[in-house]
Amino acid sequence: MKTLTTEDKAYLLDKIRDVPDFPKPGIIFKDITTLLKDAAAFRFLMDHLEARYKERDIDFIAGIDSRGFIFGAALADRLQKGFVPIRKQGKLPYTTIGEKYALEYGFDEIEIHIDAFDCDKAKPNVLLVDDLIATGGTAKAAANLIEKSGAHCVEACFLLNLKFLRGDEALSKVTPVYSVLEVD
């Protein structure tokens, strides 16, 4: 399995813009659009992810709304696997199943179609993909939703892990976690 060097990680991290005080004062937003618009950097990232997962027993890639769609769909294409969007409540047109998760004040819910992982396998293997893990609430709900649907979440993969928020620790109780880059 291909691993990234310190220089490789620095290259990718340098392509991500920090936006201070967004969406509110005190937050430093990690803007991935600067990486996405750099064709060479995006290809480098996707080459790494393809090398990491091409030999794994994966039946589907699931991406979390909305930036997980970008990385997840691109990886699904490279691996020749189906892509399943995990959407916010009320955004999918067919019958869905959902999973609620706690927010700072209240709850939210994500959903997938009831037939999202239909295939000739009794318990399909699913790779969960998103751009960033912070507190891990949405990702944990997504992994639980995959399991609730009758599939198996083999791993959750993120471009960025905000280690200081410890979301990866909570999520690792549900599924293995891989992050390309970590920020302390």
The catalytic residue positions are: 67, 104
Query: Exposed, middle or buried, 170 (CB in 10 Å: 0-12/13-18/19+)?
Result: middle
Determine the number of helices (DSSP H) and then strands (DSSP E) in the chain.
6, 9
> Are 143 and 174 spatial neighbours (Cβ–Cβ below 8 Å)?
yes
Q: 100 vs 33, 48, 150, CA distance in Å?
A: 28, 32, 17
What's the DSSP call for residue 115? T
Q: Bridge-partner residues for 99, per DSSP?
A: 110
Distance CA 61, CA 50 (A): 12
Three-class SS state of 14 = helix
Distance CA 99, CA 141 (A): 6
What's the DSSP call for residue 21? T
Task: Compute the 3-state secondary structure of the chain and give helix, strand, coil in percent, each to the nearest 5.
Answer: 35, 35, 35
